[in-house]
Amino acid sequence: MPVKSTRLLPIAAGVFLLACAATTHAQTTINLNTANGNCVAVTDAAGLSTDSTPGSVSLRANGVTLTAGAPGACNPVGGSSSMFQANVQTSGSQTPGTPFTPAVGSPFYVIWSASADATACTYGGNFSSGITGWNLGSRACTDGASCSATHAVQVTPTAAGNYSFSVTCTNASGYAATSGVNVPQPATPAPTPNPIPLTAPAGASAGVAFAVTWPQMQNAARCVGTGTLGGTPTTSLGDWNTITTVSNTAANSRSVVVPSTATGTLKLTLTCWNADDSASATGTTGDIAITPPAAGNCPATITAADGPRNLLTTSDVRYGTQSGTRMNVNLSEWDNVWGHGTGSPTEGITPWPGVSGSAPTILAFKRDSYVGIHFKTPVSPAPGTAGTWFNPTSNPGPNLTMAISTQCGDFTNHLPSPGCRVENVPTADAPMVYWWFGTTFPNTSCNLQPNTNYYVNIMQTDKASTLECSGNVCPAAAWRQ
């Protein structure tokens, strides 16, 4: 289609046409003679239109394609884009090329420069958060001298991500160019120290707690304790199986206890992960020899909430109300106490679990006494073996606390199950501990294991109580049902 009368100017501070004609309303081809040769501009189907700005004599064109008749003929005044394009790179320091490993919270540098042909540059990127120090959309420079200088901008990742940094520059003609660099996803710091140095004893008794310690951890968001016994994974290790978090300011410690029937070699492992599970640290103990708990070794004095209790080792023991009294009974063993049903000197001992309905009352029991009465369960208990005690009305006295434990004198820390302890039981035929060889109802029953040493520990709940006492002597009864 013929072109209306038009005067063309070379490309200068922006490409524009001064119109002496109306709109063409058709695709228009314009031959531009530039300093570098002929440049052919072709509009879209709308052709040329008059600028609607009042007083303007310019024409507008949309969808323009440029075809250079000679190299550089269509380039804008001020040089090619490469002459003012920014060079952008990352570095671990203000010196280009310094190696670094991107990490959350670890600063690095974006180093860039353009040429003197650039008249302004602007910061850009593919992110709106996760990086501090790079001000998206703000001017990086405003003249050729400042744009051509080398700029080292310190930036810091605050979150994991893939980040691209760009600097967009323009020259006098308005041409824009962008350069960028991709930063790999920052790594969350790994837990340290690695390996984790675990300290544990070389040997321990089954059913008896021991401590495993390790130093403070850095960057550990969660930890898991595992173990093997005789090479087989085990999950019955007390606090060791419940590790979730650890301290990053102080040394760490966990209590470990294996089942009271366990023997063999125990090996413990602690594994900790960082916040995004991208790295872990692991530590493993040496072999820990597990042996059956030994009998005896009752402490002479234990500490209770209201003061000390002293071990009572011998006492006269009365059975029932009219079945006689046994003199100077050794209270260290079950069979000596519940292995009898009368005070007759000719009565033999009935081995554990003893005489059904045995009703002993320890006559020398004092307000500050405790007893630790040992027994060992058989290797293969008969099915249905179980028992319980009660504090009888027929022996008025202070309230009692009873616990079955793997340690003598222990009322809290080494119980087979929570139901192995009852406290403040009155003399009103009130039930005490119920024991059996089951695994259910751990909060209301004492779940014993075969072939294991235990102690029946008894003390007066309130040492200050003088209810039914004669001076400091308060006879205590634990009758079997």
Taking only the tens place, the pLDDT of each residue in 41-87 is 888 888 877 766 565 556 777 767 777 777 666 665 544 445 566 78
Q: Is the pLDDT of residue 112 over 80?
A: yes
260, pLDDT greater than 70: no
Q: Does the pLDDT value for residue 232 go beyond 70?
A: yes
Q: Residue 203: is its pLDDT beyond 70?
A: yes
Supply the pLDDT for residue 409.
92
Among 1-10, 45-54, 165-174, 235-244, where is mean pLDDT lowest?
A: 1-10
Confidence of residue 242 (pLDDT cuts 50, 70, 90): confident
Mean pLDDT, rounded, for 310-326: 92
In this predicted structure, what is the pLDDT of residue 183? Answer: 65
Q: Per-residue pLDDT averaged across 241-257, rounded?
A: 87
Mean pLDDT of 366-378: 93
By CB atoms closer than 10 A (0-12, 13-18, 19+), residue 197 is: exposed
Whether the predicted pLDDT of 360 surpasses 50: yes
179: Cβ–Cβ under 8 A, 6 or more apart, which residues? 85, 86, 87, 88, 112, 166, 167
- The pLDDT tens digits of the residues spanning 443-463 come to 999 999 998 989 999 999 999
pLDDT-derived band of residue 32, with 50, 70 and 90 as boundaries?
Answer: confident
Residue 329 CB neighbour total at 10 angstroms: 21
pLDDT at res. 184? 64
Residue 176 has pLDDT above 80, yes or no: no
Does the pLDDT value for residue 175 go beyond 70?
A: no
Predicted confidence at residue 239, as pLDDT, reads: 80
According to the model, what pLDDT value does residue 38 have? 80
**pLDDT for res 9:** 34
d(CA 23, CA 286): 91
Asked whether the beta carbons of 136 and 125 are under 8 A apart, the reply is: yes
Give the confidence band of 116 by pLDDT, cuts at 50, 70, 90.
Answer: confident
What integer pLDDT is reported at residue 12 of this predicted model? 32
pLDDT higher for 58 or 306?
306
What is the structure's pLDDT at 68?
A: 72
Helix or strand (DSSP H, E) at 338? helix 334-338
Mean pLDDT of the chain: 84
330-351 residues labelled b (16+ CB within 10 A) or e (exposed): ebbbbbbbbbbbbbeeebeeee
Quick one: pLDDT band at residue 186, thresholds 50, 70, 90? low
Q: Which two tokens stand for residue 8?
A: 């063309």
State residue 295's pLDDT score. 53
Determine the pLDDT at residue 67.
Answer: 78
Residues 6+ apart with CB under 8 A from 364: 312, 314, 315, 316, 473, 475
Which pLDDT value is given to residue 19?
Answer: 38
Mean pLDDT of 347-367: 93
Task: Provide the β-strand partners of residue 264.
Answer: 290
- Residue 6 pLDDT > 50: no
Which among 62, 43, 41, 50 is positioned nearest to 20, based on CA atoms? 50
The predicted-structure confidence for 265-284, as pLDDT tens digits, reads as follows 999 999 999 988 889 999 99
Distance of alpha carbon 403 from alpha carbon 371, whole angstroms:
11
Looking at residue 324, its pLDDT comes to 92
- The yes-or-no verdict on residue 303 having pLDDT over 80 is yes
Q: Is the pLDDT of residue 434 over 90?
A: yes
Query: Does pLDDT of 313 surpass 50?
Result: yes
Structural domains for the chain: 6-68 (no CATH), 81-183 (2.60.40.10), 203-291 (2.60.40), 301-480 (no CATH)
Of 153, 132, 158, nearest in space to 90 by CA: 153
